[in-house]
A and B are shown apart, each in its own frame.
Chain A
Amino acid sequence: MTMLLFAGFVALILLRVPITMAIGIAVLSALVYAGFADTLYIIPLQVLDGVDNPSLLAIPFFIMAGNLMNGVGMTDRIFNFASALVGHMRAGLAQVNVVSSLLFAGVSGAAVADCAGLGTIEIKAMRERGYPAPFAAALTAASAVVGPIIPPSISLVVYAFLSNTSVARLFLAGIIPGIIVGLSLMAFNYVVALKREFPREERKSLPQIGRAAIDGIAALVAPGIILTAILTGFTTATEAGVLACVYTIALGFVYRTFSFAMLWKALTETMTITSVIMIIIGFSHVMGWLLAIEQIPQQLADHVLMVTESRAVFLLLLLAFLLVVGCFVEGVPAKLILVPMLLPIIDQFGIDRIHFGLIITLALLIGIATPPMGIALYIVAEVGKVPFEKVAIAILPFLVPLIAALLLITFVPELVLFLPNLILGPA
């Protein structure tokens, strides 16, 4: 049954069956094989059960916050502020690219909003200053990985739902790893710049930095609003997402950039991405139900423990596996299938679920920047007008700092757990 389920799923997605339908068809076959042919109403029942879930209500609002930020023009201000801060460094605009993504990540919960919004500005600016277009596009895709690590994060909300962990704890746990990913990319830019003589921008005076900060302060305040609202208990995660949206719309009025056409576009983009995610969650819920009924996760845990009892070896094998999966399957469906399977093993090895949440999120996220399925590569190739093949080659060196950051986060759990334990107390 398990072979039929997973081999069927892989064969179907390779045949270009849309991922939701591939899960549905694989599950249908497995249900019939497992003797549930007379109770196939389980499929729509479980889909509805997966979608009708209050803990996932935050998803659309964290997506919308990023789309609205792009719509009201905050991305330009974020870029200008980052430029004033780090533009004078070696490979100035490349560093600005990473810092802009870090700042934008504090508002948006999705990587795609980073690529599509900031990416357009960043790639254009870097090309004009003489950076090779594939390098600029590849860096933009790599730095978008930061988005769903730094709170707010839709990816972490989904993981919280799957693993029965606290969203607030996961959000706090993502801050240091997000900064580490950003710093590793900046260090890589520096090393590349030593060889390739990338231009530096003029160093800005303190008053100029101050003006850029005032201009961009509105965006910098947003993450503080979201985190404070959740941590103080003033709002739920969903309400914090709504606050971020309302705040951004208010900024649109202040900057006179708000329009109903912009709002409609943001609503449409948000609704589309949310529907894709939620329908995948719905169909994966059927798969999860079937796996639980057949006790597959427990069997898998027993098998893994027979292979190795070393936590370090297990983590290395896990990372290799997740990186390969991330190359071919998008993060959310991969997580929906893998988390319920892996949690019993994680628990047996005594790995903290919050720590594992960040490991699996980052490992699968790296997949958005790896060919052949990296969605970020497709987006930056489109917005940057760079051939996909060139971006796919240019991204490869950027995988070194991303994987180095992943290894650091995996083998030094304190980097993940320090902030949640400090602020919320040990779990």
Chain B
Amino acid sequence: MPLIDRALAVIDRLFLIGANAALLAMLVTTTLNIASRAFLGQGVVWVFPINIVLFVWMTFLGFFVVYRRNKDITVDFLLSAMPAMAQRIGRILVDLAVIALLLIILREAPALIQRQVGNIEMVGLQRYWLSIPFFVSCALIALQFFSDLIHALKGHDAPAHHPAGDI
């Protein structure tokens, strides 16, 4: 398990850098587009399609980062009021349910990728490149929950939860 944990920690760092870079690139290219329209009288046509791709990638790379850092929203009050054993059983059930969902999604990856044909206009990539980071994140999150399952079975404490917050 320490090996998986360490590997996931490294990938988390890489995905964080990738997702932040995508966000920064969206900020810079959109600024360029506004400036070009304001001062040169015409926009930069490739900015919008590129930004859509960057936005999707940022979201899907961030998907793993969110779960690695326990940032998703959970309702804690009911299970927190339960005895320790019930909490542990709950944690194991949650881990199993999430792993099952993600494995089913991953099983469908080939079927979806086959359907996503054709170039993304002005970007040049095949459409399936939009969904690949999603499937990679699903696989990594399944590993993350598998690691947590092992920790739960060994009786280790659950990691602290830090929800990202509402809007």
Contacts and interface: CB of A to CB of B under 8 A. Distances in A.
A239 B30 CA distance: 7
B147 interface: no
Nearest to A60: B23
Interface string B93-104: 110011011001
A368 B31 contact: no
Nearest to B106: A44
Contacts of A268: 16, 20
Given A12-B97, A276-B66, A279-B63, A19 B166 contact: no
Interface residues of A, number: 75
Contacts of B107: 40
Nearest to A59: B167
A112 B167 contact: yes
Contacts of B104: 28, 40, 43
A44 B105 contact: yes
A273 B63 contact: no
Nearest to A116: B165
A339 interface: no
Contact of A372 (B38, B77, B134, B163): B77
Interface string B54-86: 011011111101110101111111110000000
B164 to A, nearest CB: 4
A373 interface: yes
B4 interface: no
Given A16-B75, A19-B73, A268-B16, A148 B66 contact: no
Interface residues of B, number: 61
Contacts of A372: 75, 77
Interface string B151-163: 0000000000001
B146 interface: no
B151 to A, nearest CB: 16
A148 B167 contact: yes
A112 B30 contact: no
- B24, B51, B101 — which one has the most chain A CB atoms within 10 A of its CB? B101
Interface in A227-252: 234-235, 238-239, 242-243, 245-246
A378 B31 CA distance: 35
A333 to B, nearest CB: 7
Contacts of B51: 57
Contacts of A165: none
Contact of A275 (B65, B77, B109, B167): B65
Nearest to B78: A14
Contacts of B101: 21, 24-25, 28
A17 to B, nearest CB: 5
A365 to B, nearest CB: 8
A403 interface: no
B166 A332 contact: yes
Given A44-B108, A48-B56, A271-B58, A330 B166 contact: yes
B75 A14 contact: yes
Nearest to B49: A54
A44 B166 contact: no
Contact of A52 (B52, B63, B77, B167): B52
A333 B167 CA distance: 11
Interface string A43-77: 11101100110101100110110000000000000
Contact of B97 (A17, A48, A111, A267): A17
A281 B139 CA distance: 20
Given A61-B27, A112-B166, A331-B166, A45 B112 contact: yes
Interface string A105-117: 0000111100110
A18 B67 contact: yes
A232 B130 CA distance: 33
A328 B66 contact: no
Contacts of B105: 24, 43-44
Contacts of A276: 62, 66, 71-73, 164
Given A57-B26, A111-B165, 16 more contacts: A17-B94, A25-B98, A25-B100, A25-B101, A40-B104, A40-B107, A41-B111, A64-B27, A110-B166, A242-B31, A242-B34, A267-B20, A276-B66, A276-B71, A277-B167, A375-B165
Closest 10 CB pairs of A and B: A275-B62, A112-B165, A18-B72, A41-B108, A372-B77, A278-B59, A41-B111, A267-B20, A242-B30, A375-B166
12 contacts: A16-B79, A44-B112, A238-B30, A268-B16, A271-B58, A272-B62, A276-B164, A280-B73, A331-B166, A331-B167, A372-B77, A376-B166
